[in-house]
A and B are shown apart, each in its own frame.
Chain A
């Protein structure tokens, strides 16, 4: 079945440093979504990418979808303490399933 791997599992940064998490699918995706989960909370949708090679920005966050539609990345510029949480990618393949990656837990230190 479809597998979605995400690296790194954990990342500690100093406030102001950049952060990137990578997502790789074993199969071609129709779209990829990114979610953020604050500690003790539930996943909250950030963005969806559909087109091959697509790049989208949300303030300090930049999302990319690979040309082959099998990989994606989320880059945060100049992290802030409000960025703390776990970031998940989720791949939509065939059969209406959304397969989540294992997540990257981001900690930001002052």
Chain B
């Protein structure tokens, strides 16, 4: 049971670089989401998707793009990395508003 798989686990970027954080789930969940976690801020929703071809913005979407071409995959793209995007990123999936399963996280540092 793979569950939710995130890659990479760690990444260092230079300011202005772009990259894609990968997220895949094998539970046939229609709902997938991306969060960022910063000290004292909890988990803040970046973008989410309720099914293939459907995405919507969360609380902090600026600087990030997503797409959902398949049920399994929900990549998060950083267009032009900034130091303010240094954070731990979590991908999660669920059936609707039920139990969310989280990936192991990606620790991103932008220098």
Binding site for B on A (CB under 8 A): 1, 6, 9, 30-31, 33, 35, 42-45, 48, 88, 90, 92, 95-103
Contacts and interface: CB of A to CB of B under 8 A. Distances in A.
Interface of B: 31, 33, 35, 40-45, 48, 50, 56, 58-59, 90, 92, 94, 96-105
A44 B42 contact: no
Contacts of B101: 45
Nearest to A92: B97
A33 B40 CA distance: 19
12 contacts: A33-B100, A43-B90, A43-B92, A48-B99, A88-B43, A96-B31, A96-B48, A96-B96, A97-B48, A98-B94, A98-B100, A103-B43
A100 B48 contact: no
Contacts of B50: 96
Q: Is the interface of A mostly helix, strand, loop or mixed?
A: strand
A73 B59 CA distance: 24
B100 A97 contact: no
A97 B58 contact: yes
Contact of A102 (B40, B92, B102): B40
Contacts of B98: 48
Given A30-B97, A43-B90, A98 B104 contact: no
